[in-house]
Amino acid sequence: MSPPLRINAGRLNDTLQETCTQWGALAAPSTGMCRLTLSPEDQETRDWLVSECKALGCEVQIDQMGNIFAIRPGTAKDKKPIGMGSHMDTQPAGGRYDGILGVQAALEVLRVLNENNISTHCPIALIDWTNEEGARFPGAMMASGVWSTKSSTSLEGCWDTQDKEGMRMQHALQEIGYLGSTPCDYRENGLEAHFELHIEQGPLLERASKSVGVVTSVQGMKWFNIRVTGIEGHSGTTPMPDRSDAMVTASRLITAVRDTALKTELGVATVGVVNSDTSSQATIPAGVDFIIDIRCSTDDMVESLATAIFDAFKPIIAEEANGTAYEITRSWGLPESKFHKHCIETVRASALEEVGEDQVMDMLSRAGHDSAWTSRVCPTSMIFVPSKDGISHNPHEYTSPEHCALGAQILLNAVLRYDEQVKTGAY
């Protein structure tokens, strides 16, 4: 192998911090971000990214879901690109690392390859996946799901999704100039492999005093919409024993979700969103909606936990029987994703080039990622670096500059290593 290339840690971290400060930063001193997908801030970030990649000689393709593929040519004529993908959008009150680090690291890799005049066998692609967060247009990992053709929501279904203001996603793509013509379909715009550097978003690496997670799978997850219905009434005049109070029943069910997850130890279950039918303090609401997010290591455990939760609902509904009922709709699910042996090996070897074995551990991802979808149609793995206190989806999200740089270096190593294996015909 040629002498090892080094990423420029200062440039990586400066570029990451400067672009976050410029586009979507929450008011200082917070280092939080609000860069909702396809917002003006997202557009500016995209425009900058496209211009940087073009300056590096990449061919930039925008697909029908606004995914950006910036492709640095390789020498082989018959090879698809090796992808380095993640996302630049954030939660409404998110941090600077979730997704953003993966794309910034990919850009740094492209810069290093250019500076060193490296010719790769396969083309190398940076990918910015649209709407990973699902925070503006409901449906996380939406555009990588369409690209994989394995998501239950079609291209047209995603285009029809509306944000809170009722804007259709297709229109939002058009408005910021990112409704591209490249098919959003891996069969027409495919990848040789997909690598993603991401922060862990959990406390496990930090607790184990490790620097790198070699991600072998993504846990399964399902979301359920629950609607509880009771009978609307006046808060002053409806006697307590006569009430059929959807709010109280929903509250008891939300408590049961947590208690069941804690007791069964099958995985995690969360209610993050609740909405009452009325905005009046003086009205017993007729209906309350909430969403349960269930995640477990395997699909079977997801099913078991969901069953245990809905079993726990039954006695509560029986007790609140005075006209209260509930219905369940499954809104979304991502089956357990097992990553590819070759990509896992590549990431592990690339990490061990940089740090000792005591610093590296295999792990599964407890959050969903675009890589969960890519893994269904091309060899995929991920590199995790530690999140301070395990905090994510929060302005306090933090990963040290050293860990950001280490992750980017491993991403560079992995891409070159995988390319070498393809060239030699091993993969």
Minimum CB–partner distance for residue 257 and a second copy (Å): 8
Minimum CB–partner distance for residue 122 and a second copy (Å): 32
Site string for a second copy, 249-268 (x = CB under 8 A): -xxx-xx--x--xx--x--x
Minimum CB–partner distance for residue 182 and a second copy (Å): 28
Rg (the chain; Cα; Å): 23
Give the count of residues interacting with a second copy (CB under 8 A): 72
Name which position in 26, 271, 328, 352 contacts a second copy (CB under 8 A): 271
Contacts with a second copy in 67-96 (CB under 8 A)?
A: 91-93
Contacts with a second copy in 285-344 (CB under 8 A)?
A: 285-286, 288, 291, 293, 295
Calpha distance 374→198 (Å, rounded): 15
Calpha distance 362→376 (Å, rounded): 20
Give 183 or 203: the residue with its C-beta nearer to a second copy. 203
Is beta strand 325-334 parallel, antiparallel or unpaired with respect to 212-218? unpaired
Minimum CB–partner distance for residue 22 and a second copy (Å): 24
Minimum CB–partner distance for residue 223 and a second copy (Å): 6
Task: Select from 300, 252, 292 the least CA-distant residue to 268.
Answer: 292
CB-neighbour burial class of residue 264 (10 A; exposed 0-12, middle 13-18, buried 19+): middle
Alpha carbon 376 to its chain's center = 16
What kind and span of H or E run contains 211? none
Contacts with a second copy in 197-236 (CB under 8 A)?
A: 200-203, 219, 221, 223, 231-236
394 binding a second copy? (CB under 8 A) = yes
Calpha distance 427→414 (Å, rounded): 13
Calpha distance 347→216 (Å, rounded): 10
Name which position in 26, 34, 60, 391 contacts a second copy (CB under 8 A): 391
140 binding a second copy? (CB under 8 A) = yes
242 binding a second copy? (CB under 8 A) = yes
By residue count, the chain amounts to: 427
135 binding a second copy? (CB under 8 A) = yes
Alpha carbon 322 to its chain's center = 41
Phi, psi of 56 (to 5 degrees): -90, 5
Calpha distance 66→116 (Å, rounded): 30
Name which position in 1, 27, 28, 164 contacts a second copy (CB under 8 A): 164
Whether 190 contacts 357, CB under 8 Å: no
Q: Which stretch binds a second copy (CB under 8 A): 147-155, 183-191, 275-283, 343-351?
A: 275-283
Minimum CB–partner distance for residue 57 and a second copy (Å): 37
CB-neighbour burial class of residue 88 (10 A; exposed 0-12, middle 13-18, buried 19+): buried
Give 31 or 251: the residue with its C-beta nearer to a second copy. 251
Calpha distance 234→285 (Å, rounded): 9
Minimum CB–partner distance for residue 389 and a second copy (Å): 9
Give 14 or 300: the residue with its C-beta nearer to a second copy. 300
Tell whether the torsion through CA atoms of 369, 372, 377 and 381 is positive or negative: positive
Match 């440039």 to its residue by tokens.
11
Contacts with a second copy in 6-35 (CB under 8 A)?
A: none
Name which position in 53, 284, 360, 414 contacts a second copy (CB under 8 A): 284
166 binding a second copy? (CB under 8 A) = no
Q: Which stretch binds a second copy (CB under 8 A): 39-47, 59-67, 147-155, 195-203?
A: 195-203
